[in-house]
Chains A and B, each alone.
Chain A
Amino acid sequence: MSQAFDIAAQQDAITRQAELALAHARQCGATACELSAAISQGTDINVRMGQVDTLELARDQGFGITVYVGQRKGNASTSDASERSIRETVEKAVDIARFTGEDSMAGLADPDLMATSLPNLDVHHPWALSVEEAIDMATRCEQAGLDVEGISNSEGASLATGEGVSLYANSHGFLGVQRGSRHSLSCVLIARDDNGMQRDYDFSSSRHPFLLRAPEDIGHRAAERVLSRLGAKRAPSGTFPVVFAPEVASGLVGHFLNSIAGGALYREASFLCDALGDRLFPDWFSLGERPQLPGESSSAAFDGDGVFTRDNDFIRDGHLASYMLSAYSARRLNLVTTGNAGGARNVRIDAPLTEYSSLISGIDKGVIVTELMGQGINTVTGDYSRGASGFLVENGQITGPIEEFTIAGNLRGMFSALTALGDDVDTRGSIHTGSWLIDGMTVAG
C-alpha cells in the first residue's frame, strides 16, 4: 500500500539468506540442516463510529534454522536478517546441538520425498489499494451496520491486506518458495435492550481482493446477527440434539485433526491412539484435504519438511483411513509421512448435505450453537465441555436466542452421533463445512 514492497527483491533476499545459512551450517560442522525464512508486509485499518481508530503498517520478517550434528539437534531463530545475524543464529543452533541428547529418529525427511514440481497455486494477488480507499471501504462496511435500526454501538470495521513470501530449504538441496496474499474485511457491532448488550460480527476473507464480499453486505449481516441475539433466555437442561453452526462445526473438525496428528499420537496424548481403521463417523461421511487446489486459503505444494503435498483422505466411509504425519512423527510411529508437517490444508467433507431448513424442521426439541467459549476440550480423553450461546429449536421452529449454557459429551461419541450435515457451507477458512447435527448431547442452562 503506502510503503513499497518489491516481492521479487524480497524473494531474492531470503533465498540469499538461505544459501548463506546452509553453507555456514556445513562449515560449522552440521551434518544436516533445514531452515525457513519469511518476509511480509501488510496494512490494517480499523474504523470505529465513522472515524479512523487505528492505521497499522506492518512489516515482519523471520528466519529460523534447525541443525543436526549426527543425531543431535539444535534450533535458533531471529527477526534480524542481516548477514552477521544469520551467521550468529546458525552458530547458536550448532552450539545448542552439543548439549541436546541423541535422538535416533531425528533428521530430515527422505530425499526422494522432496517436492519436485512447484505449481503456481494462484494464491498471490496483492491489492494496490490506497489508504483512503481502504478507509472508505471500512467506513461503508460499518455504516451499513450502524444504519440498521437497533444497533447502538460498534467495535468498528477492519480492513486488512497483506502479501509476503516464505521459503523452506534443507541440506538435501531442496529450496521451495511460496508467495501469498491475504485480504479480509470484518465488522463487530453491539446492540442493547433491557437485558443488556450483545455483540456479534461478520467477515469475509480471501487470497484475491475481488473475491471479498461487498462491504455493505458484511456490515448488514453483522447487524442482523447481533440483533438476532437480543432477548436471549436461559437454555433448557437435559439431553438434546445440538446443531453446530458452520463457524463452530469447523472447530470439531479441528479437534479431530489435532487428535490424528502424529505429535499427539506418539506422545500418547490423543483419544484416537490406535484407532486406525476404526469406524468413527457414520458410513456416509468422508473427510480429507486437497492441498493443491488453486487459490484456496491453505494451498501449498510442499509441507514443513519440504515433502510434496498430496490429497489425503483421513476419514473414508466413516472409518479412520489415515493419520496426519510429518517425517519425524511418522518415524516415531513406524509409518510413512503423509506430507502434513504444518497441519492439514484445505479440508473438505464428502457427504450428502441436508437442506438447512429441513435439518432444523426435523428437530423436536434441541439447540443451535453459534458461539463456543473456553478451552474445555481434552484431546487425551476426548472429553468435551464448552460454554455456548445460540438458539432454541422447538417443534421444528427456531423459537429464540439462548445464552449462558454448556454443552458436553465425548468427541468420539459425538462423531458417531453425527446425524446430518447442512448445506449452509462456510467456505471462508481452510476447513469448509456446513452445520453439524449431533444427537444426544448434555445441555446445562
Chain B
Amino acid sequence: MNHDTFSQATALLLDPYGLSLEALDTGLSHAMGPGVDFADVYLQRSWRESWSLEDGEVKEAGFNIDGGMGIRAQAGEKTGFAYSDQISTDAFMDTGRTASSIVRQGQSLGVKAEARTMAPARYAGGNPLDGMAPEVKVALLREADRIARSLDSAVRQVSVSLSAVYDVVMIRASDGTLAADLRPLVRFNVSVIATRDGRRERGSAGGGGRYGLDRFVQNNVAERYAREAVRQALVNLDARDAPAGQLPVVLGSGWPGVLLHEAVGHGLEGDFNRKGSSAFAGRMGEQVAARGVTIVDDATLSDLRGSLSVDDEGTPGACTPLIEDGILTGYMQDKLNARLMGHAPTGNGRRESYAHLPMPRMTNTYMLDGQHDPEEIIKSVRHGLYAVSFGGGQVDITSGKFVFSASEAYMIEDGKVSYPVKGATLIGNGPESMSRISMIGNDMALDTGVGVCGKEGQSLPVGVGQPTLKLDEITVGGTQAG
C-alpha cells in the first residue's frame, strides 16, 4: 500500500462529505471513553453492479451503493459496537460515544498518533465497475449462453451472471493504526439445466478474483465456464445412485480444498480457541493430521478472491502456517483474540461490512503439495469414491464434525475411475479425517474464485486449494446401502 491508496481512499470516502482524516480521530476519541482500552473506526463505501441472463436475454441488471462507518470500543473481553450510514462529524461523535457506553468507569487512555500501515498491495486498486462498457458486458453474457446451447441439445436452460464490486475501506485505531484498502472483486458464473429421458440435472461453473472485468475477456471465461457447466450437467445425467457407508475417498485438486476449510480451518480461528469451544483448543504443538500434511492460510497471493493487502483491522495480510507436517503450529487471529491469548494478530480480522464486527476469518486456505502423481493415487484404490467438485460444507467446531457435499463424483473400481454417481454428502471428524490422509498429490491447485464463507451470519469471499488427496476412510452418504 502506498500514498496513492490513501489519497484515493480519502477522495472516495471523505472528500464527498467535506471531511478530513480528523473526522476519524473525532470518532475515535469519543469511543475511547473511561475504561476503554482499544477502539477503532471503520469507514467503508461499496459499489456493486450485477448483470444476469436468462432465456437468452439479459433481463436483470442492478447497481448498489452501500456505505457507512462502524465504531467499536473494547474493555478487556467486552466489546461495544455501533454503526451509522450517515457520514458527518456529528455522526462520528455519536457513534463513538454509543460504542463506548459498554463501560463507564476506569482510566481514560489516549489515542496513539497515527502510523500509516505500509503493506505490499496484493491486487491493483482500480474500480472494476469502470473497466467495461455495458454493451460489452451484455455481449459476454450472450456469448456464454450461445456456446452453452450449441454444445448439446440436452441443454434446456442457461443462466449467466456477471458481478463487479469495488470496496473501499479506511481503518483508524487507538493503537496508532491508519490503513486503507481498495478492493476490487469480480465474478462470472454459468449454470445450465439439461434434460434427457425424463431426467433433469444441473451443472454450473464460474470464477473470478480481485481484478478488472477485462480479464474475463482475456481469459475467455464465457466459453470456458459454459463448456464446464454443460460438461458437469451431462455427467450428472448419467450418474447412478451413490454408495452409503465408509469408503476410501480420493478428492480432486482445487475446489475440493473446501475439506480443509471445514475440517481444519474454522477450528483454528482464534476466537473459538480463546473460548475453548473448538475441538482443536489447547492442542498447539500436537499432531492433528497425518505426517506430510502442511496447511497455510495465505492472504498474500496476487489477485485471488480471498486475498487482502490489509485486513479489516489494518493488519497487513500474511501467510500463516496452520499445520506443518501434521503438527498444529498456528491459529488465525484478529486483534482482540490475539491480545487476549498473548499472540500476534495474523491479518485475519475480517468483517462483512461496517455494520458487522470483525472476527478471525480465513482468506485463502490450502494444503501444500506432496509427492504422489494423481494417477498413482487413484490406482491405489480398489473400491472407493473419486470426488472432483463440491457444493459446499459446514462444520460444528465444538464436536469437530464436518460435512461437505459432492456435486460431481465417480466410483473408483480396481484403480480406475468408472461411472459417475449422484452427489452425496461426506461426513467426518476434523482431526480424525486429517489423520486418515494417506497420499498427497503433487498437483496443488487453487479454486477458480467462487468461495463464500459464512460465520455468525457474516458472509465473506474466501479461497481454498489442495492437491489430489486420498482419505483412507470417510462416511459417504449415498442411497445405496450395503
| Interface-lining segment among A170-178, A202-210, A370-378 | A370-378
| Interface-lining segment among A56-64, A118-126, A316-324 | A56-64
B400's partner among A55, A196, A373 (CB-CB below 8 A) is: A196
User: Do A53 and B77 touch across chains, with their CB atoms under 8 A apart?
Assistant: yes
- In chain B, what residue has the closest Cβ to A99? B134
User: Do A445 and B475 touch across chains, with their CB atoms under 8 A apart?
Assistant: yes
Closest Cβ of chain A to B74, distance in Å, is 10
| Interface-lining segment among B165-173, B215-223, B401-409 | B401-409
User: Do A100 and B476 touch across chains, with their CB atoms under 8 A apart?
Assistant: no
In the complex with contacts A60-B355, A100-B59, A374-B156 CB distance below 8 A: no
Q: How long is the Cα–Cα vector from A445 to B481 in the complex, in angstroms?
A: 11
CB-defined contacts of A271 to chain B, threshold 8 Å: 200
| Interface-lining segment among A75-83, A139-147, A242-250, A342-350 | A75-83
Closest Cβ of chain A to B162, distance in Å, is 12
Q: How long is the Cα–Cα vector from A99 to B57 in the complex, in angstroms?
A: 11
Residue-wise, chain A 221-239 has the 8 Å CB interface mask toward B (1 for contact) of: 0000000000000000111
Q: How long is the Cα–Cα vector from A89 to B67 in the complex, in angstroms?
A: 14
Q: Does A38 contact B (CB under 8 A)?
A: no
User: Do B275 and A85 touch across chains, with their CB atoms under 8 A apart?
Assistant: no
B357's partner among A54, A85, A239 (CB-CB below 8 A) is: A54
Q: How long is the Cα–Cα vector from A283 to B224 in the complex, in angstroms?
A: 48
B59's partner among A57, A92, A106, A410 (CB-CB below 8 A) is: A106
Q: Does A197 contact B (CB under 8 A)?
A: yes
| Interface-lining segment among A17-25, A351-359, A381-389 | A381-389
Q: How long is the Cα–Cα vector from A155 to B456 in the complex, in angstroms?
A: 12
Closest Cβ of chain B to A200, distance in Å, is 9
Q: Does B143 contact A (CB under 8 A)?
A: no
User: Do B54 and A267 touch across chains, with their CB atoms under 8 A apart?
Assistant: yes
In the complex with contacts A99-B134, A197-B398, A408-B244 CB distance below 8 A: yes
Q: Does A336 contact B (CB under 8 A)?
A: no
User: Do B58 and A54 touch across chains, with their CB atoms under 8 A apart?
Assistant: no
CB-defined contacts of B365 to chain A, threshold 8 Å: none
CB-defined contacts of A267 to chain B, threshold 8 Å: 54, 157, 159, 193
Q: How long is the Cα–Cα vector from A238 to B478 in the complex, in angstroms?
A: 11
User: Do B81 and A375 touch across chains, with their CB atoms under 8 A apart?
Assistant: no
User: Do A99 and B61 touch across chains, with their CB atoms under 8 A apart?
Assistant: yes
In the complex with contacts A268-B193, A387-B425, A406-B58 CB distance below 8 A: no
Q: Does A212 contact B (CB under 8 A)?
A: no
User: Do B475 and A80 touch across chains, with their CB atoms under 8 A apart?
Assistant: no
User: Do A406 and B60 touch across chains, with their CB atoms under 8 A apart?
Assistant: no
Q: How long is the Cα–Cα vector from A58 to B396 in the complex, in angstroms?
A: 28
Q: How long is the Cα–Cα vector from A273 to B54 in the complex, in angstroms?
A: 18
In the complex with contacts A56-B81, A385-B242, A387-B477, A75-B60 CB distance below 8 A: yes
Count chain B residues whose beta carbon lies closer than 8 angstroms to a beta carbon of A: 78
Q: Does A93 contact B (CB under 8 A)?
A: yes
- In chain B, what residue has the closest Cβ to A61? B85
Q: Does B102 contact A (CB under 8 A)?
A: yes
CB-defined contacts of B101 to chain A, threshold 8 Å: 2, 55, 131
User: Do A376 and B477 touch across chains, with their CB atoms under 8 A apart?
Assistant: yes
Q: Does B276 contact A (CB under 8 A)?
A: yes
Q: Does B202 contact A (CB under 8 A)?
A: yes
Residue-wise, chain B 83-121 has the 8 Å CB interface mask toward A (1 for contact) of: 111000000000000110110000000000000000000
Q: Please count the residue pairs between chain A and chain B whose beta carbons lie under 8 angstroms apart in the complex.
A: 245
User: Do B355 and A381 touch across chains, with their CB atoms under 8 A apart?
Assistant: no
| Interface-lining segment among B23-31, B298-306, B315-323, B387-395 | B387-395
Closest Cβ of chain A to B143, distance in Å, is 14
B403's partner among A48, A378, A386, A409 (CB-CB below 8 A) is: A386
User: Do A375 and B405 touch across chains, with their CB atoms under 8 A apart?
Assistant: yes
Closest Cβ of chain B to A155, distance in Å, is 6
CB-defined contacts of A268 to chain B, threshold 8 Å: 156-157, 193, 195, 200
User: Do B423 and A383 touch across chains, with their CB atoms under 8 A apart?
Assistant: yes
User: Do B63 and A76 touch across chains, with their CB atoms under 8 A apart?
Assistant: yes
Residue-wise, chain B 44-78 has the 8 Å CB interface mask toward A (1 for contact) of: 00000000001001111111111110000000011
User: 17 other contacts beyond A74-B61, A237-B482, A387-B402, with CB at 8 A cut-off?
Assistant: A48-B77, A53-B77, A54-B79, A55-B79, A59-B83, A73-B60, A89-B63, A100-B138, A106-B59, A197-B277, A199-B398, A267-B54, A375-B405, A386-B425, A386-B477, A442-B481, A444-B477
A-side interface residues toward B, CB under 8 Å?
2-3, 48, 51-61, 73-81, 85, 89, 92-93, 96, 98-103, 106, 131, 153, 155, 190, 196-199, 237-239, 267-269, 271, 273, 373-376, 378, 380-381, 383, 385-387, 389, 403-410, 442-445
Mind listing 30 A-B residue pairs with CB under 8 Å? A48-B275, A51-B77, A55-B78, A57-B81, A58-B355, A60-B355, A74-B61, A89-B65, A98-B134, A99-B134, A99-B135, A99-B137, A100-B59, A101-B57, A153-B275, A190-B276, A196-B279, A199-B398, A237-B482, A268-B156, A268-B157, A374-B404, A376-B424, A383-B423, A385-B242, A385-B424, A387-B427, A404-B427, A406-B475, A442-B480
